[in-house]
């Protein structure tokens, strides 16, 4: 699946030529080379989120149509389907029962156009469902209902019995499509997962519980009461992302099944058959030097607040705070963590470890218990400098990331 960011929707919606140019640069050459099997193009990413205040309401569907025309013109219409990745908030239920589900009134007209388009083109309705977000956004949400082990509340609706939020949410979409007159549109889960940091409910224990239940459910191929059978699903996410927007919450940078450096976080059973084991980590990862930036022992602790704020603005401090992986750090530890994040994200530059003379570079790992002080991965800039040092010959770099997360 190839995605088109929201900031390109306006351009693609206005001109068919722009869509053809996009297709040529991002799809056609890969298809003709024969090495890539592309099934879908997602035009936009959750473009109708309420927080966007309608910014993409008028451009998403026109962009979808223009991209579809370009695909058909290039002769790939039977191989590549156009859709758009939608958040589950595009539909809602006044009673929280699936049968009362319907598409939001403010986007109903455009959703009707999109759903009709998907039905005509035999394209899937791509929806992102996150039980974690239901728990995060509502303090009264029953925690067990976010999981799949049937320990919590249940919902009964028109002779159907729901033991988890995922099934209820999926069937709310089924009802919404039915009421719109397009009950046969296929559904694909574009994103589902559980974060491991940045919130009291975001931790490895809950992630393990979630994936154990969800993957076991997927193995049964039973689906939900109103959507039985196999459900094509994309897990989110492979790796943590330390520069992702945290507007929705600090947990946004911690969805990965693997850490920033490709190390697995927890045991997981991808087979759904009770075979929990640690995933195989990335190989050939090249780290920068084993050094960290920390608060000086004799630093004036009363003068660090501004520097910590500056470091967190330029780095990633989402692991700091109550009920997070680094919640056991004291004030000095918090400062050191913030300083090191800034230091590492700036490729261990000496200038990035000063903070008005409060910080120093050390070679002893300051990590504590579950609180990991990361080391930057070698970036493309570092590789170039290394190549220059060894006369342009560099061996053994088998896996390269451009950022340290």
Is 46 noted as a catalytic residue in this protein? Answer: yes
User: Cα 219 from chain centroid?
Assistant: 23
Strand partners, 359: 295
Assigned token pair, 302 = 């009363």
CA dist 46 and 53 (Å) reads 12
Give yes or no for a contact between 316 and 242, defined as CB atoms under 8 angstroms apart.
yes
CA dist 199 and 189 (Å) reads 24
Helix axes 16-23, 60-73, angle to 10 degrees: 60
Count CB neighbours of 74 within 10 A.
Answer: 16
User: CA dist 41 to 1, 154, 363, Å?
Assistant: 6, 37, 47
Catalytic residue among 120, 160, 191, 368: 191
Catalytic residue among 20, 46, 160, 241: 46
CA dist 69 and 20 (Å) reads 8
Give yes or no for a contact between 132 and 147, defined as CB atoms under 8 angstroms apart.
no
3-state secondary structure of 342: helix
The beta strands (E) that lie in 21-159 are given as 40-45, 81-87, 91-93, 101-103, 125-128, 155-157
Residue 315 makes CB contacts below 8 A (sequence gap 6+) with: 242, 338, 341, 342, 343, 344, 345
CA angle 401, 250, 296 (to 5 degrees): 75
Q: Containing H/E element for 178?
A: helix 165-179
Assigned token pair, 375 = 């080391």
CA dist 83 and 176 (Å) reads 17
Count CB neighbours of 183 within 10 A.
Answer: 12
Active site residues: 46, 191
């Amino acid at each position: 699946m190839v995605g088109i960011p929201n900031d390109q929707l306006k351009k693609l919606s206005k001109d068919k030529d722009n869509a053809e140019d996009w297709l040529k640069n991002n799809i056609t050459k890969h298809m003709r080379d024969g090495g890539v099997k592309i099934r879908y193009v997602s035009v936009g990413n959750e473009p109708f989120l309420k927080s966007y205040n309608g910014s993409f309401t008028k451009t998403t569907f026109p962009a979808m149509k223009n991209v579809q025309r370009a695909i058909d013109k290039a002769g790939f219409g039977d191989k590549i389907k156009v859709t758009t990745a939608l958040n589950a908030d595009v539909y809602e239920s006044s009673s929280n029962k699936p049968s009362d589900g319907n598409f939001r009134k403010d986007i109903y007209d455009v959703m009707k156009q999109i759903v009709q388009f998907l039905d005509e083109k035999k394209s899937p309705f791509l929806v992102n469902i996150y039980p974690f977000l239901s728990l995060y956004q509502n303090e009264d949400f029953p925690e067990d209902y976010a999981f799949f082990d049937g320990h919590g509340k249940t919902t009964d609706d028109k002779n159907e019995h729901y033991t988890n939020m995922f099934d209820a949410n999926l069937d709310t979409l089924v009802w919404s499509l039915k009421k719109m007159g397009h009950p046969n549109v296929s559904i694909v889960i574009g994103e589902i997962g559980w974060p491991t940091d940045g919130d009291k409910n975001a931790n490895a224990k809950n992630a393990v519980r979630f994936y154990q239940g969800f993957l076991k459910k997927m193995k049964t191929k039973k689906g939900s009461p109103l959507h039985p059978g196999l459900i094509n699903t994309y897990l989110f996410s492979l790796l943590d992302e330390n520069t992702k927007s945290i507007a929705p919450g600090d947990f946004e940078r911690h969805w990965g099944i693997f850490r920033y450096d490709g190390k697995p976080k927890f045991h997981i059973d991808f087979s759904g058959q009770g075979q929990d084991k640690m995933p195989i980590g990335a190989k050939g990862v090249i780290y920068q030097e084993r050094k960290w930036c920390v608060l000086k022992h004799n630093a004036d602790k009363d003068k660090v607040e501004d520097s910590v704020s500056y470091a967190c603005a330029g780095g990633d401090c989402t692991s700091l705070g109550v009920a997070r992986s680094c919640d056991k750090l004291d004030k000095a530890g918090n400062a050191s963590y913030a300083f090191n994040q800034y230091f590492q994200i700036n490729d261990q530059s000496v200038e990035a470890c000063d903070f008005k003379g409060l910080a120093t570079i050390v070679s002893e790992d300051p990590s504590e218990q579950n609180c990991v002080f990361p080391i930057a991965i070698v970036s493309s800039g570092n590789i170039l400098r290394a190549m220059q040092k060894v006369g342009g010959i560099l061996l053994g770099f088998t896996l390269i990331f451009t950022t340290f997360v």
